[in-house]
Amino acid sequence: MPGIDLPAATGLWCVPGFLCLAGVAAAVGQRKLATPLIYGGSLALALVALGAALTCFLQPGPPWTLALPIGLPGIGARFRVDALSAFFLVVVNLGAAITSLYALGYGRHEEAPARVLPFYAAFLAGMNLVIFADDAFTYLLAWEFMSLASWAIVLARHRDPANSRAAFLYLVMASFGTLCLLLGFGLLAGPAGGYAFETIRRVSHTPFAATLAVVLALLGAGSKAGLVPLHVWLPLAHPAAPSHVSALLSGVMTKVGVYGFTRIVLDLAGPPNPWFGLTVLTLGGITAAIGVLYALMQHDLKRLLAYHTVENIGIIFIGLGLALAFRANGIKVAAALALTAALFHVFNHSVFKSLLFFGAGAVLTAAGERDMERLGGLIHRMPQTTVAFLIGCAAISALPPLNGFVSEWLTFQAILVSPDLPQWGLKLTVPAAGALLALSAALAAACFVKAFGVTFLGRPRSAAAKAAMEVDTFSLTAMFLLAAICFLAGVLPGFVIDALSPLTAMLTGGTMPHQAALPWMSIAPIAESRSSYNGLIILTFLIASGSVTAMAIHRFATRATRRSAIWDCGFPLDAPQTQYGSASFSMPIRRVFGTVVFSVFERVDMPRPGELRAGSFRMRIIDPAWRLAYGPIARGVASISLILNQLQFLTIRRYLTLVVCTLIALLLLVATWR
């Protein structure tokens, strides 16, 4: 067994590689050749890193560590690759590689490549480094580097005021997240200041410190991942970037947030308390439902996808919460099942969300439009993009036999084990979370029927949509690669589950049963007598029964077909605006959940009979997070700063008085504290 030294070191070397690439991009960004050079270089490096990560991931062994004498004195910079980081490295670099491939085609349409290219490579370096980091200092440095690099890309099209506002909001939230993580690591390191993860892992934390650290990790990593109510920046910032970067932000960077949470809570913070599980689970359920409901209300294709990321993060956190709850109660197999479900969904979501953002990017290139109310009928103009996008839609809607279904099915299976939990609060909460999960899965299907149906089906709603052209080969290859992964992971999930088992053994102490041993390549989370699923057989049956039926009918009945005008109950209307659009499609759901979830303001101006002016209907939906959480904070900050503003106009004597008073107060505090 050669061990994982070489691949892990190779993977780490890719980080300086990306940084060099960023330097090159900064130097030559204006040239025409820069775009293929940088994206080609990123593709090559990401492929190397992906190969290295896959080798580490598929070859379970003792973790690889490295300490470099750079960074803070006494700590240095430590790096480590274990099963968890190897898995996330696979996710990050797979996303990075395919995104670079896509960008080889898509990036040509970029107006200001010099504003994107350097930060793109730096962003990839940052994400990799976060996962390699093995001490708090390196981790936070890499985290902040990643945040700033991505912030710069979000700001790439700064002329649009909406974009710069989104970037500002992102910066504020990212700083808040880093602050929380900083405090959390400080608590975990304790007064002795052992910032290396190795030390943190060995020290036993007081329950108070552990709880507080978990809460801070939830806030810090959750703000990056997009947990409700910390998600508000996400649907604004992710779509603001160029589409391939949106794919990275939504598909990959949110997963780095999930990695941060998993690392801190499941690995570093010591044995969990069951109530952590309850909190995470509840937040996850709410996040899933809110995310998908707001996704349904969007008319901007990219913003719809970004809101939908929030939903998927919710699903992942439901899995993580279950894993925490089971682990706290020593139910190891179930904890392994829940963790596998969450991580499988991490992988799946990174794949299909990237695919969908690529599709949205392709639509944007082809039609120059991302408002769904002005799209439609693209299936005739962009047939290949349509197929790839459709596969992505079906996968994210958790439809068998694709991959999204498998991870949600595993989450459901973990939920079904919940009656074994001894805590009554958990027993009663888990079914509720399950109901929320089912609700969000069904709403996701509605959401993507809308996204696909309005964008690609029907008749074009604008001249631009009518004139759209199919996109380039690079983009199509990238999309079809991802679509193929969706199929493979859905049909042969057993391999993914088996590959995750060293990871679950490390974090929960348990593993799921060995899946490759089951007949016919089916999967069974706990035992075959309890539940099992076989994507391969389902797919075979679907293809067989569908095609046999079609052939039989064509052969023995008739295959005569005639084209004619639309019937539409005998009264077809020519104007494409009479089709169901985005707003009309989601109206019933808006009405049903309206009072509870949305703050909808509708203004209908209906001219009276005989009046000749046009009628109008305006609707505004405000995310309740703004009203309930951020509004009061913003008002509070404003009023406090108004008060503190007076401090700017004092005499020197008064300033000195203030300083002395503060000093005395602090000294008093120290004196009484002892």
Contacting another protein within 575-634 (CB under 8 A): 576, 578-581, 584-589, 591-592, 595-596
Specify the residue, 87 or 405, whose C-beta has the smaller distance to another protein: 405
Q: Report if residue 558 touches another protein, rule: CB under 8 A.
A: yes
458: tokens are 């029907």
Specify the residue, 27 or 592, whose C-beta has the smaller distance to another protein: 592
Parallel, antiparallel, or unpaired for β 599-605 and 64-68? unpaired
Specify the residue, 21 or 318, whose C-beta has the smaller distance to another protein: 318
Q: Report if residue 27 touches another protein, rule: CB under 8 A.
A: no
CB-CB contact of 415 with 319 (8 Å): no
Over the window 223 to 242, marking each residue x when it contacts another protein by CB under 8 A and - when it does not, the resulting string is: --------------------
Q: What is the CA radius of gyration of the chain?
A: 26
Q: Report if residue 314 touches another protein, rule: CB under 8 A.
A: no
Please select the residue that binds another protein; options are 118, 400, 490, 510, rule is CB under 8 A.
400
Q: What is the DSSP string of 80-148?
A: EE-HHHHHHHHHHHHHHHHHHHHHHHHGGG-S-GGGTHHHHHHHHHHHHHHHHB-BHHHHHHHHHHHHH
CB-CB contact of 149 with 170 (8 Å): no
Q: Which stretch binds another protein (CB under 8 A): 560-568, 619-627, 650-658, 664-672?
A: 560-568
Specify the residue, 596 or 642, whose C-beta has the smaller distance to another protein: 596
Specify the residue, 85 or 455, whose C-beta has the smaller distance to another protein: 455
Q: Which stretch binds another protein (CB under 8 A): 159-167, 207-215, 547-555, 639-647?
A: 547-555
Residues of span 200-219 touching another protein by CB under 8 A: none
**Cβ of residue 468: shortest distance to another protein, in angstroms?**
14
Please select the residue that binds another protein; options are 70, 208, 564, 615, rule is CB under 8 A.
564
Q: Report if residue 562 touches another protein, rule: CB under 8 A.
A: yes
**Cβ of residue 524: shortest distance to another protein, in angstroms?**
8
Specify the residue, 129 or 378, whose C-beta has the smaller distance to another protein: 378
Residues of span 409-448 touching another protein by CB under 8 A: 409, 412-413, 415-416, 419, 424-425, 427-428, 431, 434-439, 441-443, 445-446, 448
Residues of span 130-149 touching another protein by CB under 8 A: none
**Cβ of residue 231: shortest distance to another protein, in angstroms?**
21
Specify the residue, 568 or 611, whose C-beta has the smaller distance to another protein: 568
Over the window 499 to 538, marking each residue x when it contacts another protein by CB under 8 A and - when it does not, the resulting string is: ---------------------x-x-----xxxxxxx--xx
CB-CB contact of 96 with 59 (8 Å): no
Specify the residue, 211 or 411, whose C-beta has the smaller distance to another protein: 411
Residues of span 456-485 touching another protein by CB under 8 A: 457-459
Which DSSP helix (H) or strand (E) runs through 546? helix 535-556
Looking at the chain, how many residues does it have? Answer: 674
Q: Report if residue 92 touches another protein, rule: CB under 8 A.
A: no
The residue whose two tokens read 């539940």 is 531
Q: Report if residue 452 touches another protein, rule: CB under 8 A.
A: yes
363: tokens are 């639509």
Q: How far lies 663's CA from each of 126, 515, 648, 653, 674, in Å? A: 40, 65, 20, 15, 17
Please select the residue that binds another protein; options are 1, 73, 561, 643, rule is CB under 8 A.
561
**Cβ of residue 626: shortest distance to another protein, in angstroms?**
22
Please select the residue that binds another protein; options are 23, 160, 172, 541, rule is CB under 8 A.
541
Specify the residue, 343 or 394, whose C-beta has the smaller distance to another protein: 394
650: tokens are 């004092």
Over the window 317 to 356, marking each residue x when it contacts another protein by CB under 8 A and - when it does not, the resulting string is: ----------------------------------------
Which among 175, 185, 98 has a CA at the least distance from the CA of 133?
185
Specify the residue, 184 or 434, whose C-beta has the smaller distance to another protein: 434
Q: Could you give the count of Cα atoms lying within 13 Å of 217 in the half-sphere of its Cβ?
A: 28
**Cβ of residue 452: shortest distance to another protein, in angstroms?**
7
Specify the residue, 84 or 486, whose C-beta has the smaller distance to another protein: 486
Q: Report if residue 281 touches another protein, rule: CB under 8 A.
A: no
**Cβ of residue 557: shortest distance to another protein, in angstroms?**
4
Q: What is the DSSP string of 23-85?
A: HHHHHHTTSSTHHHHHHHHHHHHHHHHHHHHHHHHHS--SPEEEEES-SSTTT-EEEEE-HHH
Please select the residue that binds another protein; options are 41, 235, 314, 377, rule is CB under 8 A.
377
CB-CB contact of 382 with 470 (8 Å): yes
At 359, give phi and psi (nearest 5°): -60, -45
Specify the residue, 549 or 639, whose C-beta has the smaller distance to another protein: 549
Which among 235, 224, 234, 247 has a CA at the least distance from the CA of 100?
247
Q: Which stretch binds another protein (CB under 8 A): 91-99, 115-123, 408-416, 647-655?
A: 408-416
Specify the residue, 108 or 466, whose C-beta has the smaller distance to another protein: 466
**CB neighbours of residue 179 within 10 Å:** 15
Please select the residue that binds another protein; options are 171, 179, 183, 379, rule is CB under 8 A.
379
**Cβ of residue 418: shortest distance to another protein, in angstroms?**
9
End-to-end CA distance of the chain: 56
Specify the residue, 105 or 581, whose C-beta has the smaller distance to another protein: 581
Q: What is the DSSP string of 441-452?
A: HHHHHHHHHHHH
Q: What is the DSSP string of 607-666?
A: PPTT--SPPEEEEEEE-HHIIIIIHHHHHHHHHHHHHHGGGGG--HHHHHHHHHHHHHHH
Which among 509, 511, 488 has a CA at the least distance from the CA of 499?
511
Which among 352, 520, 314, 328 has a CA at the least distance from the CA of 448?
352
355: tokens are 């695919």
The residue whose two tokens read 């790839």 is 388
